[in-house]
Structure 1
Amino acid sequence: MSLAERVETATERLNTTIVDRPRAVIVVFLLVTGVFVGGLGSVQVSAGGLDSFTEGLPEQEAEDEVTENFQGPFQSDTQDTTQLIRTDSNVLTKEALVRDARLIERVADRDDLRMESASGPAPTIARHLNPSATTPEAYRQTLERAPRSDIRQAVRELESESRLRGSVSNDFNPTSVSASASITTISHDFPSSFDDLTAVQTGIQGVADDMPGDVRAFGSGTTEAEIRQSMSDSLLIVMPVVILLLLFFLVVAYRDPIDVLLGLVTLVMTIIWTFGFLGYTGIPFSQQMISVPVLLLAVGVDFGIHIINRYREETARGFSPVEAMREANDQLIIAFVIVTVTAVFGFGANVISTLTPIRNLGIASAVGILFTFLLFGVFLPAAKLVSDDVRTRFGVPEFNSAPIASEDSVLGRMLAFPAQVSQHAPVVIVLGLLLSGGLMGAYGSGVGTSFENEDFLPPEEIPAYLTELPESLSPGEYTITSTINLLDDKFGSSQGSTVKIYVRGNLKQDHALEALAAPNDNPPESLAVGPGGQAEARSIVTVIKSHANENEEFAALVARNDQNDNGIPDQNLEQIYDELFSSSASDRAQRYLTEDYRSAQIEYRTDPDATQTEVTAGGAELADRLRFEATATGSVVVLAAVMDLIFQSAIQGLVMAIGLTAGFLVIIYGILERKPLLGVVNVFPILVAIAFLLGTMRYLNITLNALTATILSISVGVGIAYSVHTTHRFIDEYDATTGAHEAMMVTLTGTGGALFGSMLTTALGTGALALAITPILGNFGVLIGLSVTYSFLAAVIALPPAVLLWERIHQWDLDLLARLRPAV
């Protein structure tokens, strides 16, 4: 038995089971649904922010080691800290400092807030005034008793200390002793099993709200809480809109309440299966995952419209319900299998991504598509037969069982128009599509890439249309974005970002310090911001020079060990480090050198006009120049690394999706129909659609980010369905008619109606994501809606002339074989 015969036998058996034993099919599917219901309670919810993308990156691991080894005076692990950001006309007055100290004291009095220590202007100034002040109560008492003049003098004396300057805004003026904002950092003592930082930071915000002044509690807990809230709000806003749109189109497409109910039940089962799978496998539900149920609902409706519409076509021809469903399934089940496999290729192509959230999205969407096929390709036909049988028994009338479009309808004539035109000049049309697609693809190749906090966070100002929603749907209040903007405004630098070089090795070797300073004289352009084009670097070398200027004895030690008289010692380095770490410069030294003298960091200021790519390349170049194991890191470098991976994921996913899809279609059409070239014809429309999508992305200034990077391969998975359904129906009609043109006309007036209906449901259903709170989901919704629209138009416009060209090539092959046969 040939492979084609085996496939045909398998599909016939499946079809026979559906048609002959529909009740048994329904029972099995309901039992499986019960199993998946058990997994719903295990679904984990993840905020899915920046951290989920940077985990495991070498640049991020280096950044983590830098943070752990070289924490500044008050830079505790951000996972275990809460920042209290105070804004006022002047946060350095006695009254403001006393308020900060009182706030710290009240937080410390709450055992559930688990405060271990506090740092910031109030503790720093209090300890300077009274070195024995080591508790929150002592901070407050010291500041309350100190004269204003003493507090002002203490601030001036601490002017150059990073422990003060790093905790006040960049408008700090030591002369007038003023600043408009300050940060007080609360460090927590959590057991290893503690995982409720959100509750702690919410409690601290409650304490701050009960006191005068504008204070915001900020940390990873509050950030995650607002991201989770925006996810919930997005689902509450998007899902009702999606369901209403799908319900509307189900009503329009089915025009029968019982059929609509069947479609809705099948959709609900699809979501239960998918979320149950997530629960059992432990794949977390993140922001990116919100797109999965929307996609599955839209694709499921697509499948449902095709099966119900084809069933109605057969009943309209006079077949009984059982025979009509047998005929419809016989024609559609192979198309459904092809669409499912190609959709799995498109969605599952994201599995190759090295970024965990994108990989999880690929797994969930690919498995969800398989579930969609089983439910809409097997369960729905069985349920339709049983419902029609029950309807007949109880005499329930059919409301409207006509197909969506026919050859005589206005929609049918509109859909057939491209095929009518194509018969006159198919070569010209195909060449025109290739040219326009090539131009759009070339233009779209310049689409940007982005990866930033703003992608995941709710906007600072919620759009007006969302605030007008009913209270049950209206989004909550978000402060995280405005807080981040406040931090950038008050504490950010206008002098560019910072690149860190993490150095590992034996730094007691005589050449170590000279090696650390050597790259500074001829740095890459993006780091050449110092005098004479030098790099502006801070390292253990700068601490040594600074302390030598302050301490004559230490300066003499450096001079004795500086053989080339350039201010950098090059022998007896261990002795110099020992003296430095035992001096008043110890805090500064620990910021750049570990106590075992085997790890160091160098901080380079960057050119404000340099791009992330230029800065990252510059940091990597300097790291390569060092005579030690060195890694460039810092927030700019980490984000650039993720952006590169996002772009790679997008391109690799697209290439993999198209390659697998094209290969599969060539093989399957070759096996089943002995027409392998139709597989190539099938891919042509989707290539045109993706080219136009890329061009539109660039025109609309929508970048490839953590979610939209998946749009290219997903577009293959969703869009190829339109070409597959059209081609498969064409093959059925082509075998029964005399020419490709006539077959395509019948195809577009029949299947074209179902395609049009499914396009509307999918485009508008997925496009509803544009209403989501976060920009990352909104842009994805816009793009998937455009992708579906382009795919439908390409299937209707680009496929007919391509099929006509295929017929010519196919006929040439047949004629050639006919001429060669007598000679053989």
Structure 2
Amino acid sequence: MVSVDSLLERADSLIVDRPRVVIGAFLVLTLVMAGGLGQTATQSGTDQFIEGNEAQEALDEINEEFEGTTFATDTGGTTLIQRSENVLSRSAMLRMLAVQERAQAREDLRVVGTGSAASIVAQTIDPSATTLAAQQRVIEDASAGQIDDAVRRADDTPGFRSLLGEDYNPTAASASATIGSLTHEVPSGLSSSAGQGGSSPLTSIQRDVADIADAVGSDITVFGSGIISGELSGVVGDSLAIVVPAASLLILAFLVYAYRDPVDLLLGVISLVMAIVWTFGFMGWADIPFGQILITVPVLLLAVGIDFGIHAVNRYREERVEGREAKPSMRTTTDQLLVAFFIVTGTTVLGFSANGLSDLPPIRDFGIVSAVGIVFTFLIFGVFLPAAKLYADELRESVGLPSFGQQPIGSEGSALSGALGAGVTVARRAPKLFLILTLVVSSGAAAYGTGLDTSFSNEDFLPPEEMPDYVEGLPAGLAPGEYTVTETINFLEDEFQSSEGGGTVIVYVRGNLRQEDSLEQLYRANEDPPDIIVAEDRRADAQSLLGVIDSYAARDPEFAALVERNDLNDNGVPDDNLEDVYDALTAPDSPVRDQALRFITEDYSATQVRYTVEAGNSDAAVVDAGEELAGRVREGGVATGQTVVFKAIQDTILLSSLTGLAAALVATALFLMFIYYVIEGRPSLGLANLVPILVAIALLAGSMRFFGVPLNALTATIFSIAVGVGIDYSAHIVHRFAEEFDETDDLYGSLDATVQGTGGALLGSMLTTSSGTAVLVLAITPILGQFGLVIALSVFFSFLTAVLVTPPVMVVWHEVTVA
């Protein structure tokens, strides 16, 4: 069996005796990995998170199978939003129909279906007006009185009200807002989703539709997944354009302070760039798409890479200031730090890999990419940087170039060393009392943190409706573009989601709808609905095929007679010969064909029922109501709708976060115990190493709730990240302490040497990483700003607990296991 010492000896020989070979090999590997950069695809928005979601799959089928489904977010659909004094006036309806007709006439726009309140009004006046051109002629020829009367009669048509804004007044035949729809034939394999994706073939289509709308009139705007796609792509770029320069300047400033030498600074920056190139090159070669959550990976690589770089250079300087030559100094440095780096890498990889247990694909990808990136960072900073540093120093000495700032950070006697020694002071005087107080504070923070909210919405990934003030003062090159999607989404939700402002829940039913009691099941399901469902006379106010049947029977005696013949219990719902009823509704010459096909498929195998939810109810209550209504249908209904889909993802996010944290802690504890058993013969050091990070996680959870940061698609990873990154700080101190204690057998002297030697490097790493990541709060995407804040807090708490909590823990550990 190969011993740890023999492995270290081989690594030392490679780094110290053959630095040019190491440098050359790493540069060649960098070129190879860079080849994958151009192969990385991009992915953004909420549709990354919906894979395998039953409610989303049901919503996808609704979007694909039912014609004219206006409110379901269909990646093949475009929404036309019209706002004017009265969108039900003759001129306004003609403009809506003109936009639809011109779009339909262009083959490249692939329009296969349209829908609008104007179409319904026209067909109410003349049921034979089945084309957009005919509908325009009907509206043009009708008198104002005929139009107003048709609007009032159309009010009974299922779905008509849902196309009009909140202020719709059937008596006055007026409304200030309406929406129409265009359905496009899109390439096969492109599914719909409650969220919106980053790349969409509809982007250019919807831009062309917008040009048509602008030519017809200024009161119609275009909205859809293509428009959202363009803004999602733009907001990421604009956020990075603001954040990257600010973060780079801050990080560079702190690195200048930490290294205080231009050559060392250059080597550190080159190593950071290599780590990022390797990681993103790996993504390209592995065909892993770059999603918004992976924007965090460079931040994490910087966090670990900066820490490794500062530790490597600082530890080497500790040896050099003692008068030792370069090679022996680097050999001592790598002997100690390769073990520390390996411990940190192992725990960090385990922390990040725990996200691979998530049911959400982007979080799984994050776990893989970040874990691989940390391994690359270990190799670059543990092997390449020491070799490059040694070769640079030898070259500098051979040509007589001066060196600068070679004093290690936090050296003995400095003001900084005194501040860093606070934890050792506490450890000397009252370690047990301090740990008891720490337990009380962290327990309180953890209990408070259990009230964290969970969030998942389109708005997480989009810029706010109003840009922050600092954006207005940015120079032209950094100023973001104009974003309208959030304002449009808010308008649609306020005006159209429901007359009560509470939203919609859909029950999707798939089965043989020819069975005699199929419609009776839908009828009975509407009796005594859950309290949050809008109802009248204890019956749900639902949009369904039953409403189409009632509406058509009221105006067509022949169809009414068909319903009556097949209504065995005289409740107005057919329960015999249902296929004949469906055939009459969906016949090519049926005036209600379009309305019927919004609620039943042409093969009579599926239907949908849309329920309006009262305002002010939680997502959980909406989901419970939907599931109760779905359970009333014997055919096997599925509750769906955007609220249901997003609530399911919220639950998955919370489960992912807790599962990731538990897995990270268990795996890290076992790994640390094993490593410390192998290298020190003291597995209990592994448990001692975990104490500071547990305190840091408790403080982080409480702080997130205090600052109002929810668990969302990005921050759900924070607790496993806190284990992975946070253990870095305490692992460096514990390992250095173990090394010092083995040499001197002096408890407090070892703690002093550890904090003075390692604490300064940890401080430099913390300042650089936390300030660099905190700059993400400037991002115009809210979710990035929240993630930047929690990463900065995580790093700060990890450093604080490492230097304050670890020394008392080591004193107690010594009393329990050594003394």
Range class of TM-score, shorter chain:
over 0.9
- Give runs of aligned pairs for residues 281-680 of structure 1, distance below 5 A: 281-495=286-500, 496-527=502-533, 529-531=534-536, 534-551=539-556, 554-555=559-560, 557-559=562-564, 561-582=566-587, 584-680=591-687
Give the aligned length.
Answer: 807
Out of 68, 85, 98, the residue aligned to residue 89 of structure 1 is 85
Deviation at 1:581, TM superposition (A): 4.3
- Judged with a 3 Å threshold, the aligned counterparts in structure 2 of structure 1 residues 323 and 349 are, in CA distance, closer, same or farther, namely same
Of 268-277 and 502-511, deviating more is 502-511
Deviates more, 1:129-138 or 1:575-584: 129-138
Q: What is the CA-CA distance between 1:635 and the residue it aligns to?
A: 1.5
Residue-by-residue CA offset, 1:493-517 (whole Å, 9 max, x unaligned): 2423222222233333334333333
Q: Which residue of 2 aligns with 1:822?
A: none
**Amino acid of the residue matched to residue 715 of structure 2?**
T
Match of 2:35 in 1: 38
User: What does the per-residue CA deviation read over 1:205-224, in whole Å, with 9 as the maximum and x for residues that have no partner?
Assistant: 23434554233221111101
1:820 alignment counterpart? none
Q: How far 1:353 sits from its partner (Å)?
A: 0.8
Matches within 5 A, 1:47-196: 47=44, 49-72=45-68, 78-104=74-100, 106-107=102-103, 112-125=108-121, 143=139, 147-162=143-158, 164-192=160-188, 196=201
Asked whether the 8 Å contact 1:83–1:186 carries over to 2, the reply is: yes
- What do the CA deviations read for 1:753-793 (whole angstroms, capped 9, x no partner)? 00000000111111111111111110000000001101111
Give the Å deviation of 1:574: 3.8
CA contact (8 A) 1:73 1:587 kept: no
Amino acid at match of 1:87: R
Q: 2:17 — aligned with what?
A: 20
**Which one-letter code corresponds to 1:78 in the other structure?**
D
Task: Please state how far the C-alpha of 1:309 moved relative to its aligned partner.
Answer: 0.3
Does structure 1 retain, via aligned residues, the 8 Å contact 2:351–2:720?
A: yes
3-state SS of paired residue (1:756): helix
Q: CA deviation at 1:36?
A: 1.2
**1:815 match:** none
Residue 742 (structure 1) aligns with:
749
Q: Please give the secondary structure, in 1, of the residue aligned with 2:220.
A: strand
1:52 shift after superposition: 1.4
Query: Tell me, what secondary structure is at the counterpart of 2:818?
Result: helix
Q: 2:801 aligns with which of 794, 797, 800?
A: 794
Q: Indicate conservation of the 8 Å contact 1:305/1:757, yes or no.
A: yes
**SS of corresponding position for 2:508:** strand
Contact kept, 8 Å, 2:498 with 2:504, in 1: the verdict is no
Letter in 2 for 1:440: A
2:240 to 228, 232, 235: 235
2:131, 2:545 → 1: CA distance? 32
Distance 1:709 1:228, change over 3 A: same
Q: How far apart are the structure 2 equivalents of 1:130 and 1:683?
A: 76
Provide closer, same or farther for how the CA distance between residues 164 and 621 of structure 1 changes in structure 2, counting only shifts above 3 A: closer
Cross-structure match for 1:817:
none
Q: 1:232 offset after TM fit, Å? A: 0.5
Cα distance in 2 between the residues matched to 1:153 and 1:418: 82
Cα 1:675/1:699, change in 2 over 3 Å: same
What residue identity is the alignment partner of 2:483? Answer: Y
Aligned pair in 2 of structure 1 residues 500, 191: CA closer, same or farther (>3 Å)? closer
**Which range is displaced more, 276-285 or 148-157?**
148-157
Once residues 575 and 114 of structure 2 are traced to their aligned partners in structure 1, the CA distance between those partners, rounded to angstroms, is 39
Q: Describe the superposition over 1:268-296 as per-residue Cα deviations: whole angstroms up to 9, x where unpaired.
A: 11111111111111211122111111221
Give SS of 2:81's match: strand
Distance in 1, matches of 2:567 and 2:493, equals: 41
Deviations 1:730-756 (A, max 9, x none): 011111223322211111111000000
Residues 67, 594 of structure 2: 8 Å contact kept = no
Q: Deviations over 1:638-659 (max 9, x none)?
A: 1111111000000000001111
Distance 1:501 1:211, change over 3 A: closer
* Partner amino acid, structure 2, of 1:425: A
Alignment RMSD (CA, Å): 2.5
Distance 1:83 1:559, change over 3 A: closer
- Equivalent residues of 1:170, 1:492 under 8 A apart: no
Q: Aligned-pair distance for 1:129?
A: 5.7
Amino acid at match of 1:30: L
CA distance in 2, matches of 1:153, 1:167: 18
Inter-partner Cα distance in structure 2 for 1:641 and 1:570? 35
For 1:86, what is the secondary structure of its paired residue?
strand
Instruction: After superposition, give the CA deviation of every residue in 1:228-254 in whole Å (9 maximum; x if it has no partner).
Output: 000001111111112111111110001
CA distance in 2, matches of 1:146, 1:557: 32
Conserved 8 A contact 1:729-1:747:
yes
Tell me, which stretches of 5 or more residues in structure 1 are unaligned?
A: 813-824
**Does the 8 Å contact 2:98/2:216 carry over to 1?**
no
Contact 2:410 2:416 in 1 (8 A): yes
> Which runs of 5 or more structure 2 residues have no equivalent in the other structure?
191-199
User: When the two structures are superposed, what TM-score results if normalisation uses the length of structure 1?
Assistant: 0.93
User: What TM-score do the two structures reach when normalised by structure 2?
Assistant: 0.93
Structure 1 pair 563–100 and aligned structure 2 pair: CA distance change class (3 A): closer
Give the letter for the 2:524 counterpart: A
| Partner secondary structure for residue 166 of structure 2 | coil
Q: Is the 8 A contact 1:719 1:791 kept in 2?
A: yes
Deviates more, 1:271-280 or 1:677-686: 271-280
| Offset, 1:559 | 4.9
Q: Report the 3-state secondary structure (helix = DSSP H, G, I; strand = E; otherwise coil) of the residue aligned with 1:399.
A: coil
- Paired amino acid for 1:773: I
What code does the residue aligned with 2:4 have?
Answer: V
Q: Secondary structure at the match of 1:472?
A: coil
Checking the alignment, whether the CA contact within 8 Å between 1:458 and 1:773 is kept in structure 2 is yes
Q: Aligned letter for 1:56?
A: G
Rounded to whole Å, the distance in 2 between the matches of 1:594 and 1:230 is 39
Q: Distance in 2 between matches of 1:450 and 1:702?
A: 9
SS of the residue 2:625 aligns to: helix
Q: Work out whether residues 235 and 290 of structure 1, in 8 Å CA contact, stay in contact via their aligned partners in 2.
A: no
Alpha-carbon contact 2:36-2:285 (below 8 Å) kept:
yes
- 2:194 is matched with none
Whole-angstrom distance in 2 between the partners of 1:466 and 1:413 = 41
Answer whether contact 2:59 2:72 (CA < 8 A) is retained. Answer: no
1:83, 1:217 within 8 Å by CA — same for their partners in 2?
yes
Q: CA 1:273/1:227 → structure 2, altered by over 3 Å: closer, same or farther?
A: same
The answer for the alignment partner of 1:688 in structure 2 is 695
Aligned to 1:768: 775
| Letter aligned with residue 795 of structure 2 | V
C-alpha contact 1:685 1:794 (8 A) present in aligned 2: yes
Contact 1:23/1:382 (<8 A) preserved: yes
CA contact (8 A) 2:34 2:281 kept: yes
CA shift for structure 1 position 354: 0.9
